[in-house]
Amino acid sequence: MIDTYYALLGLLGGLVIGLSCLYLGNKLSKKKRGLDERHHMIRMKAKSSSWIITLATVYILFLAVILNVSISIVIILGTLMLVQIGSWYCQLRCRVQVLTQIEQFVALVNVQHTTT
């Protein structure tokens, strides 16, 4: 039983330490003017929302294992795979729709520009 408390403490402690380091890092970057337009563009490309969703799923599954919920390894790995691929597909589809709308707008502007 004591192992469960240590596991929960480690899971929550890791989450708190990770979020506080992220907050403090962003705060220090603002002071040094490191959070400019280029930083945001690089960060958006590097950090995909599908990884955030997958990380949340991993935390939920770790919590289930710590609380002794009987889940087979096949179900855990299958859930992770479906979440990762599903969230990646949804994100990819949203980007394609946005790019298509931008291309249509640019084509419309070019047509109006050539007719005037």
pLDDT band at 38 (very low <50, low <70, confident <90, very high): low
Share of the chain above pLDDT 70, in %: 78
Dist. CA 34–CA 14, nearest whole Å: 26
3-state SS of the chain: helix, strand, coil percent to 5?
85, 0, 15
More confident residue, 9 or 93: 9
Q: What is the pLDDT of residue 13?
A: 92
- pLDDT at residue 14 greater than cutoff 60: yes
* Range 59-64 contact pairs with CB under 8 angstroms and sequence separation of 24 or more: 59/11, 59/15, 62/11, 63/8, 63/11
Dist. CA 81–CA 101, nearest whole Å: 30
Which of 50-59, 65-74, 103-112 has the weakest average pLDDT? 103-112
- pLDDT at residue 57 greater than cutoff 60: yes
Mean pLDDT of 8-24: 89
- pLDDT at residue 83 greater than cutoff 90: no
Mean pLDDT of the chain: 78
